[in-house]
Amino acid sequence: MLELADFDEVVRLYRPRIFRFLMASLGDRDVAESLTQDCFLKAYNARNQFRGDSSLSTWLTRIALNLVRDHLRSRRMRFWQKTRDSALDLVDISDWVPDTAVSAETAVLQRERVKDVWKAVDQLSRHQRMVFLLRFVEEMELSEIAETTGMNTSTVKSHLYRALRIVRERAGGGKE
Amino acid sequence: MKSDMEYEALEPSGEFASSIGDFRSAVTHVAGRETAQPVSVDWLVPARHRHRRAQLRVGLGIAVGWACAALLCVATLPLFTHPHHAAVAHVVTVSPAAAVTVESDSALLEQVDTNISESVPTPLEPLAELESWNSTSTNTSGDSVNGTSLNQTEKTNVAH
């Protein structure tokens, strides 16, 4: 069971990760921030139910997944769909590739790649996108993804395989 | 062997792996920048407000739902009671109507019988005589004779 004093630490540790997953899932910073707050509020209200059977990260991610699902189902989603052009757009995220000691040409190439992958991920189905992000952004193992999403491992593999194929085709990363 | 192939299918490599790595770096960078500021004490207050509003909406929705259901019941109550009365009335009124119909039918049949059995009108009087004559000849000479005499009468009528 989580103690109240521990909860501040939980927020400090896991907020960036939950926000990252929500932002990558929904493509909107404001919605991601609101849902991050909702996620920690739900976790706080249900802290007595946390038995430690799964890791805290898995538990929080599961709450975040449910929030994404509810958000996509709600009527607010239609409003978000209409205004998503004014939200975090593709150019913005491709501009935020961290600067490293690379040449200008390589940096441009990186931005282009990120832009293409972001666009391809955005076109995935909900399950495919969820599994893809959990695997390659949150770097979860397949068994962790299965536990978090409630799917069996074969289904996770199936979604991941299809997601990878689609992203590879659309992002033009076929040359391996 | 199969698991190796599966692993290769699910693990990108080469340029594609670099693209996905860059994507992760970009998303992590943005998320890190957005959450760099430590949260304030009232960070969860907006979420609490949203939660209360959502609860209020759900409660209001349930109340409105029950109110609508109650109104619907009250509004449709006459529809459920009215057909019963109508059915009873129908049962009650059907029998006299049927009796009246039967009576009127029998009266009509009687009237038809009466009209048929009335005396033949004047312009057809010769025909009536002929009919009476035919009936007498049938009585005396049988069917074959009756057929012959009828033919003769017809021939006579045609000749005239």
CB-side exposure of A33: number of CA atoms within 13 Å? 16
Tell whether A67 and A139 lie within a shared domain.
no
Residue bearing the bigger pLDDT, A160 or A7: A160
CATH code: domain of residue A47:
1.10.1740.10
Tell whether A150 and A132 lie within a shared domain.
yes
Q: Provide the number of CB pairs (under 8 Å) joining chain A to chain B.
A: 116
Scanning A102-161 for CB atoms below 8 A from B yields 110, 113-114, 116-118, 121, 136-137, 139, 142, 157, 160-161
CATH code: domain of residue A153:
1.10.10.10
Pair B98, B114: CB distance under 8 Å: no
Q: Which of A86, A103, A124 is the last residue of a domain?
A: A86
pLDDT tens for A51-73 read 777 888 899 999 999 999 988 88
Residue B84 has pLDDT above 60, yes or no: no
Residue B42 has pLDDT above 50, yes or no: yes
Tell whether A123 and A140 lie within a shared domain.
yes
Contacts of A136 in chain B (CB under 8 A): 20, 23-24
Q: Which of A86, A113, A132 is the last residue of a domain?
A: A86
How many whole angstroms separate alpha carbon A88 and alpha carbon B18?
A: 23
Contacts of A98 in chain B (CB under 8 A): 25-26, 29
ipTM of the complex: 0.84
Residue B106 contacts A where some CB pair is shorter than 8 Å: no
Tell whether A107 and A70 lie within a shared domain.
no
How many whole angstroms separate alpha carbon B156 and alpha carbon B153?
A: 5
Inter-chain residue contact B44 with A113, CB threshold 8 Å: no
Tell whether A33 and A116 lie within a shared domain.
no
Residue A72 contacts B where some CB pair is shorter than 8 Å: no
Tell whether A124 and A149 lie within a shared domain.
yes
Reference A164, options B2, B11, B4; nearest CA is B11
Q: Which of A32, A63, A86 is the last residue of a domain?
A: A86
Tell whether A106 and A176 lie within a shared domain.
yes
Inter-chain residue contact B26 with A137, CB threshold 8 Å: no
What is residue B144's predicted lDDT score, i.e. its pLDDT? 46
Reference B23, options A124, A28, A101, A24; nearest CA is A24
Tell whether A99 and A166 lie within a shared domain.
yes
Give the chain B residue nearest A138 (alpha carbons): B24
Tell whether A58 and A25 lie within a shared domain.
yes
What is residue A91's predicted lDDT score, i.e. its pLDDT? 44
Q: What does the buried/exposed string (b/e) look like for A126-140 if buried means 16 or more CB atoms within 10 Å of the residue's CB?
A: ebbbbbbbbbbbbeb
Amino acid, single-letter form, for residue A21: F
pLDDT tens for A9-45 read 888 899 999 999 999 998 888 889 999 999 999 999 8
- Work out how many domains chain A is built from and give that number: 2
Amino acid, single-letter form, for residue B138: T
How many other C-beta atoms can be found within 10 angstroms of the C-beta atom of residue B20?
A: 24
Inter-chain residue contact A168 with B44, CB threshold 8 Å: no
Residue A96 has pLDDT above 70, yes or no: no
Inter-chain residue contact A40 with B47, CB threshold 8 Å: yes
Q: Which 3 state secondary structure label does DSSP give A161?
A: helix
Best to test chain A binding among B23, B28, B43, B48 (most A CBs inside 10 Å): B23
How many whole angstroms separate alpha carbon A161 and alpha carbon B135?
A: 108
How many whole angstroms separate alpha carbon A157 and alpha carbon A138?
A: 16
Scanning B52-81 for CB atoms below 8 A from A yields none
Domain that holds residue A116: 89-176
